[in-house]
């Protein structure tokens, strides 16, 4: 795909890239508002787009589950970059995970993109996720998101407002369709309610059965992330 064709593919169906000001807000707000947004990756000559249905907030050095809790290192240096930066890291030796950096420079907070619905480049995503039978399983987990969209370490530190990895405005998700739960796969701060996902989405990752979850509407208004 030529650069012009890639630009057209992105403009055809979706809104503008989210501006830096979108990311320069409390991380819980950014996380909640990323539901419904479009993650767009141009890799190996093809654009793949996905509608985000599940995210987690990681709240900087004082959040024991956040990579910033160990300070600034070579691995996590872009987590401490300006809002709107991509932080991509390898986990368990074999998977990539992608985050959007939030708040002010050096805060060390970010939103992990955990699941999405592939809405463009479906054939490419299926090839990358060879062996997967159902489309709903293409990107229902953070490692799968990166594999389906072709996101790797080369995207670490890129700005999400432009370039080969972008976050773009999509159809907003109303409070009534947002669910909240603790985060998945961590061993510290295991009860912090910082996972947000779209109610009823078939593309959400399958958490442990006993994981508690609540409608966002039941969260007291003062504590509710909303724009």
Partner DNA sequence: ATCCGGATCGCCT
Partner DNA sequence: GGCGATCCGGATG
Q: Which residues bind DNA (CB under 7 A)?
A: 56, 58, 65-68, 70-71, 73-76, 79, 87, 90-95, 97, 99, 110, 112, 129, 131-132, 137, 141-145, 147, 183-187, 205, 208-209
For DNA, give the closer residue by CB, 46 or 99. Answer: 99
For DNA, give the closer residue by CB, 75 or 162. Answer: 75
Q: How far is the CB of 51 from DNA (least distance, A)?
A: 17
Q: How far is the CB of 74 from DNA (least distance, A)?
A: 5
Burial of 16 (0-12, 13-18, 19+ CB in 10 A): exposed
Q: How far is the CB of 43 from DNA (least distance, A)?
A: 18
- Report whether 169 contacts 146 (CB < 8 A): no
Q: In the numeric block, which tokens belong to residue 38?
A: 């479009």
Q: How far is the CB of 114 from DNA (least distance, A)?
A: 7
For DNA, give the closer residue by CB, 76 or 85. Answer: 76
- Report whether 16 contacts 212 (CB < 8 A): no
**Buried-state track 140-159, b at ≥16 Cβ within 10 A, e below 16:** bbbbbbbbbbbbeeebbebb
Q: How far is the CB of 2 from DNA (least distance, A)?
A: 31
Rounded Cα distance between 161 and 181, Å, is 29
| Residue 181: other Cβ atoms inside 10 A | 17
If DSSP codes are grouped into helix, strand and coil, which group holds residue 89?
strand
Q: How far is the CB of 164 from DNA (least distance, A)?
A: 20
Residue 11 CB contacts under 8 Å (≥ 6 apart), including other chains: none
For DNA, give the closer residue by CB, 39 or 79. Answer: 79
For DNA, give the closer residue by CB, 3 or 131. Answer: 131
Q: In the numeric block, which tokens belong to residue 174?
A: 């109303």
For DNA, give the closer residue by CB, 134 or 221. Answer: 134
């Amino acid at each position: 795909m030529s650069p012009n064709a890639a630009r057209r593919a992105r403009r055809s169906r979706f809104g503008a890239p989210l501006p830096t000001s979108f990311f320069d807000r409390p991380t819980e707000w950014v996380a909640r508002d990323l539901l419904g947004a479009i993650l767009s990756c141009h890799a190996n000559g093809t654009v793949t787009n996905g509608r985000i249905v599940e995210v987690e907030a990681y709240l900087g050095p004082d959040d024991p589950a956040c990579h910033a809790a160990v300070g600034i290192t070579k691995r996590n240096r872009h987590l401490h970059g300006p809002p709107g930066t991509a932080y991509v890291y390898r986990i368990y030796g074999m998977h990539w995970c992608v985050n959007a950096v939030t708040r002010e420079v050096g805060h060390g907070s970010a939103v992990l993109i955990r699941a999405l619905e592939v809405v463009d480049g479906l054939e490419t995503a299926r090839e990358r996720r060879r062996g997967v039978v159902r489309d709903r399983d293409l990107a229902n987990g953070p490692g799968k998101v990166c594999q389906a969209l072709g996101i790797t370490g080369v995207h670490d530190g890129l700005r999400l407002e432009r370039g080969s990895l972008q976050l773009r405005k999509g159809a907003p998700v109303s409070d009534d369709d947002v669910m909240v739960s603790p985060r998945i796969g961590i061993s510290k701060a295991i009860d912090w309610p910082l996972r947000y996902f779209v109610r009823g989405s078939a593309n959400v990752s399958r958490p442990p059965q006993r994981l508690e979850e609540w409608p966002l509407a039941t969260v007291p208004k003062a504590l509710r992330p909303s724009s």
